[in-house]
Structure 1
Amino acid sequence: MLYLWIGIAGALGSILRYLIGITFTHNIFPYTTLIVNLSGSFLLAWLTTALFKRISISPMAESAIGTGFVGSFTTFSTLSVETVTMFKNGYLLLGIVYVVVSIVGGLLMSRLGFKGRKNVYKA
C-alpha cells in the first residue's frame, strides 16, 4: 500500500513540475528548474523536520509526501541535462554558475527549512 501512495504523490509532484516547466519557459538559463529544485529543498527539509514533527501524520503519509511528491517535483536529472546542454552550446561559465547556485542554494534552502527545528545537527 505504501508504494501506491508514493506513486500517487509522485504523479502529483511530477505533474506540478511539468506544469511549472511549460508555464515558465527559458531561453538559455534554466531558472525554472533552479526555482523548483531550491523550493523543493526547502520544502523537504521543512516538512520532515518541522511540520511532520508538530502534527500527527503517519509514516506512510510522510513517505508519500516526502519521497513521492517532493522527490518527483524536484529533479536532479533535468539539472544535469540542462547543464550539459549549456556546455555543448558554449555557455560554460553559465553552466558552472547554474550548478554552483543549484547545489549551494539547495543546501541553504534546506538549512532554512531546518530552522523550524532546534538542534537539527545533533544526533
Structure 2
Amino acid sequence: MTVLLIALGAAVGAPLRYLTDRAVQARHASPFPWGTLTVNVAGSLVLGAVAALPTSPAVTALVGTGFCGALTTWSTLGYETVRLHREGRRGHALANALVSIAAGLGAATGGYALAHAVTG
C-alpha cells in the first residue's frame, strides 16, 4: 500500500514540477534556472510542513515521499549548476547553488514553523 501511495504522490508531483518549471522559466529571459528554484523551494516548504504535522505514515508517504520527492529535484539543480559553470556563467552557477540551498532550507524551516504554529 505504501508504494502505491508514493507512486500516486509522484504521479502528481512530477508533472507539476515540469509544468511549473516551464511556466516560470518562460517568464524570464535569463539563463538562471528560476523554474527549478521555484519547485525546489515550494517542495521544501511543503515537506517542512508535513514534517511538523502529526500525520500518519500514509500521508507522509503520499505527500512527503511521493509528491515532494517528485516535485523537487536535486539532480536538476546539480545539472543546471554544472551547465551554467561550463557555459562560463560562473556567477550564475554559484548563485544557483547558494540561493537554492539557502532558500530550500529557509522554506523547509518556514513550513515547519508555520505548520507547528497552526497546529499548536
SS of residue matched to 1:115:
helix
1:30 aligns to what?
33
The whole-number CA distance in structure 1 between the counterparts of 2:113 and 2:56 is 23
Amino acid at match of 1:36: V
2:48 aligns to what?
45
Q: Indicate yes or no: 2:9 matched with 1:9.
A: yes
Q: How many pairs does the alignment contain?
A: 113
SS of residue matched to 2:88:
coil
1:121 aligns to what?
none
What is the CA distance between 1:22 and its match in structure 2? 2.4
- Normalised by the length of structure 1, the TM-score is 0.84
**Structure 1: where are the runs of 5+ without partners?**
119-123
1:19 aligns to what?
19
In terms of fraction of residues, the more helix-rich structure is 2
The whole-number CA distance in structure 1 between the counterparts of 2:22 and 2:106 is 27
Aligned equivalent of 1:60, options 55, 58, 61: 58
The whole-number CA distance in structure 2 between the counterparts of 1:101 and 1:40 is 15
The whole-number CA distance in structure 2 between the counterparts of 1:91 and 1:11 is 34
Amino acid at match of 1:91: R
**Structure 2: where are the runs of 5+ without partners?**
none
The alignment-based identity, stated in percent, is 36
SS of residue matched to 2:102:
helix
2:108 aligns to what?
110
Deviations 1:78-115 (A, max 9, x none): 10111111001000111001100001111111111121
C-alpha RMSD over aligned residues: 1.5
SS of residue matched to 2:31:
coil
Q: Which shifted more, 17-26 or 29-38?
A: 17-26
Amino acid at match of 1:17: R
